[in-house]
Amino acid sequence: MVVTTMEKRTPNRVEMTDTNGLKDELEKRNGEPSEQNDNSIDMSSPTHRKGLNLYLLTIALMLVVFMMVLDTTIISTAVPSITSQFHSIDDIGWYSSAYLLPLMSLQPTFGKIYSFFKVKPILLSAIVVFEIGSVICASAHSSYVFILGRLVAGIGAAAIYAGGMIIITSAVPIHRISIYLAALSSMNAIAAMAGPPLGGVFTDNAKLTWRFCFWINLPFGFIALVAFCVAFREPKREPSSLRLRAKLAKMDLGGTVLFVTGIVLLFVALQLGGSEFAWTNGRVLICLILSGLCLLAFVFVQRYLGDNATVPPRILLNRSVSSSILVSALMSLAVNIHTFYLPFYFQSAKGTSAASSGLRLLPYSITITVAELAVGAASSLLGVYLPFMYGGTSVFTVMSTLLCTLRTASSTARLVGYQVVAGFGFGSSMQLCATSIRAAVETKDIPIAATLSVFAPFFGFSIGAAIGQNIFRSALLQSLLKFMPSTEANGVIEAGGAAVNKIANSVMRQSVKEAYNDACRCVFILAAVAGGVAFLGTLCIKWRTLKTEAKKPQNGEEEIERDRSREAEKA
């Protein structure tokens, strides 16, 4: 084992203290057995980057963050045209979920993979996989191939996302890390704002079409790949005596298979039930039952493995952690409903172009970004975060309810006003869920807390797309059946939202617009309900102040260091 050291300065001398001894003493005080984490990344003595090397690494990280978030948002204004080309309105939910499902469910797995294997080859391979998925999407000639491409890209994005945190924590000293995380967050915000308008511009361009939404990933990925090859060096590791089989055994692959299988079966059931098949259909029931069994088995596996589990039960039993996860997932579900179905409202009910619908979403995106920055600064300054979560979720719920009242003749001022206030409510509360989770756990649980902070919003995004698509299609069909036979109604649905303005008969065209408007209002109800439950979830989070938490010793390490300092001074 490599023995790491740190300097302790006293008035008379510099003493070298064994940090592994600190760990052993800490475990002795807590009455916990010491356990060797073979081949784990050694963060006690990271190799910090400087100068051009650090700048290249930061640029590479910013590019991949921009690329991954853009792939989530750029598709929203392109979906109506994609469904029209592939005649696949039943697959709307999968266009989002196929990307977000692996991105969400594989986070814990890749976190463990990075802890046992070298970061650089996995990360570079992940970028290549993401690019392959983008090429499949861009060249797809059927809805099934397009969904496959989204799935492949999602797997690559999951590995990139998990590796990014390891890179930034090993390359930047702790007192400067907030600056670099802010840079990455800014790319997240820029991609979220730029995605819908870019998607609309590409979709409306006869030469580029919606396919350029995915071709655009190739230059970003290539630049990031070269930058990582040049600038990134492996974090220091403790030498490992474990063989490949032993490493795989420690990664809880069985739990991963159970969890991913359960989630996928749940989404299949949500996609099929109520649209293609009745909820009482055997296929839907089998998917639901098998999903429940897999997730139940996953819970038992996690309980059996204890602290070695992918998600130790003691963390989820923490009221603040579980409530924050719930709030994060529900708020993400709601905002995904808005960003995915407001373009349908603009294009199908209001008759705008794809580019125009993207521009009309800008008030929502810009306000979210401004609110996140403002509330983040305010919560850091005041040392509290729960008041902002209370206010944000309540305001978001009210605005989500008002969005349910939209009509085809609703004014632009009304649309902009609802989006601005809803965006402010979301931005004021969503980012603080991660702060709440971090404040509720001990230092040793920070990696798991970070994983849960990533998992929750992606899960909400994914399940929102699946449930929303089911509600949207069912409501649209019911509205169309009021003034046309079922065969014509199904034909209108298969034609997609972008084809509404091509209906020659003006009376029929207006009726179809009203049907799309009613379907959007129905799916917006889901967002309002999710916001309301999220507000109730914030009431279950324990009150903490960031300033108080910062003063508390974590895991007893500060207390041990003070004792050793006193002994050194006496000596």
Among 167-171, 272-276, 537-541, 542-546, the least confident range: 167-171
- Spatial distance between the Cα atoms of 118 and 40, rounded to a whole number of angstroms: 10
| 131 plus 278 within the same structural domain | no
Residue 7 backbone class (left: φ over 0; alpha: ψ -120 to 50; beta: rest): beta
- Decide if 6 is inside a domain: no
Same domain, 478 and 427: yes
Does residue 81 belong to any structural domain of this protein? yes
Residue 159 lies in a domain: yes
Quick one: pLDDT at residue 87?
A: 82
* Three-state secondary structure call for residue 210: coil
pLDDT band, very low/low/confident/very high, at 525 (cuts 50, 70, 90): very high
29 domain residue, yes or no: no
Q: Which pLDDT belongs to residue 563?
A: 52
Average pLDDT of the chain to the nearest whole number: 78
Domain of 167 in residue numbering reads as 38-237
Say if pTM beats, i.e. exceeds, 0.95.
Answer: no
Q: Region of 209 please: left (phi>0), alpha (psi -120 to 50) or beta.
A: left
467 in the same domain as 536:
yes
Which DSSP string corresponds to 20-86?
HHHHHHHHHHHT------TT-B--SS-----HHHHHHHHHHHHHHHHHHHHHHHTTTTTHHHHHHHH
Q: Structural domain tally of the chain?
A: 3
Residues 404 and 540 in one domain: yes
Q: Of 309, 326, 353, which residue sits at a domain end?
A: 309
325 shares a domain with 302: no
The answer to whether residues 116 and 259 belong to one domain is no
pLDDT at 313 over 50: yes
From residue 339, give the alpha-carbon distance in Å to each of 333, 342, 345, 511.
10, 6, 10, 24
Q: Residue 375's pLDDT is what?
A: 82
Q: What is the pLDDT of residues 232-278, one digit of tens each?
A: 777 665 555 667 777 777 777 788 889 889 988 887 887 777 667 77
Give the pLDDT band (50/70/90) at residue 130: very high
Single residue among 206, 237, 268 that ends a domain in this structure: 237
Same domain (yes/no): 264, 209: no
CA-nearest of 336, 327, 254, 260 to 524 is 336
Residues 54 and 177 in one domain: yes
Same domain, 263 and 333: no
Token duo for residue 310: 């992918």
- Are residues 182 and 321 located together in one domain of the fold? no
Looking at residue 417, its pLDDT comes to 93
The confidence score (pLDDT) of residue 139 equals: 92
The CA–CA distances, whole Å, from 2 to 20, 118, 239, 444, 516 equal 9, 17, 7, 20, 64
Q: Are residues 440 and 366 in the same domain?
A: yes
Other residues' Cβ atoms within 10 Å of the Cβ of residue 412: 9
pLDDT at 102 over 80: yes
**Residue 476 domain-assigned (yes or no):** yes
Let me know if residue 48 belongs to a domain. Answer: yes
**Burial (Cβ within 10 Å: 0-12, 13-18, ≥19) of residue 52:** exposed
Which tokens is 269 given?
């059931």
Is 141 among the domain residues?
yes
Same domain (yes/no): 530, 385: yes
Q: What's the CATH number where 363 sits?
A: 1.20.1250.20
Q: Nearest CA to 334 among 267, 427, 405, 248? A: 427
Domain presence at residue 163: yes
Q: Calculate what percentage of the chain has a pLDDT beyond 70.
A: 79
